[in-house]
Chains A and B, each alone.
Chain A
Amino acid sequence: AQTVTQSQPEMSVQEAETVTLSCTYDTSESDYYLFWYKQPPSRQMILVIRQEAYKQQNATENRFSVNFQKAAKSFSLKISDSQLGDAAMYFCAYRFILNSGYALNFGKGTSLLVTP
């Protein structure tokens, strides 16, 4: 089974600074997708960014970017110019094939605190 590990239960960053959240995963597949989701205190799950494993270029969405190291099975999320609204739980997820469709395996999450 594909496992997803987020080794940082909590992280803290000052407003306007940059923070990196780490994620590693275990898989024997060569083609797959990875996602980062954000869960604010409202507990909605919001997609932040996605990465296709066969694409070498790192995905970017505004202030959010990833550092995808396929050989190392690492998928870290970088948040630039951090804002108070970025405070949330962040979950890394691996998409795997399940019967005729797909499902996600999630890491345990990293709680991000943003200080003024």
Chain B
Amino acid sequence: DGGITQSPKYLFRKEGQNVTLSCEQNLNHDAMYWYRQDPGQGLRLIYYSQIVNDFQKGDIAEGYSVSREKKESFPLTVTSAQKNPTAFYLCASSSGPGNQPQHFGDGTRLSIL
């Protein structure tokens, strides 16, 4: 079945540590996205990528980095510069046309040790 796989489901970060969240899709979608979800805040866009080897900052990119070396993969690194990383992170993808919805992974819950 086609879909988006995020791993791990739960992740713990120590102070000063970088951690990487994985996102893989087999939907053959060009565009991929990372969102952060906090209680009462809805979803906020961190980074997005429309094609391989290209990505752009969203509204809250500070303290995060991404790469897009393959169409299927869009990993997100939460760096030590992100002072409040505890949140639920969702990865999404979509095909080109604007009427196509975004498909979401099951998310990763990141907490601070």
What residues make up the interface of A, taking CB atoms closer than 8 Å to B?
A: 9, 33, 35, 42-45, 47, 50, 52, 91, 95, 97-104, 106-109
Contacts and interface: CB of A to CB of B under 8 A. Distances in A.
Interface residues of B, number: 26
B45 A95 contact: no
Contact of A103 (B58, B88, B104, B106): B58
Given A50-B99, A95-B98, A108 B41 contact: yes
B42 A102 contact: no
Interface string B17-60: 00000000000001101000000111111001010000010100
Main secondary structure of the interface of B (DSSP, over half): strand
Is the contact region of chain A dominated by helix, strand, or loop, or is it mixed? strand
Nearest to B90: A45
A106 B42 contact: yes
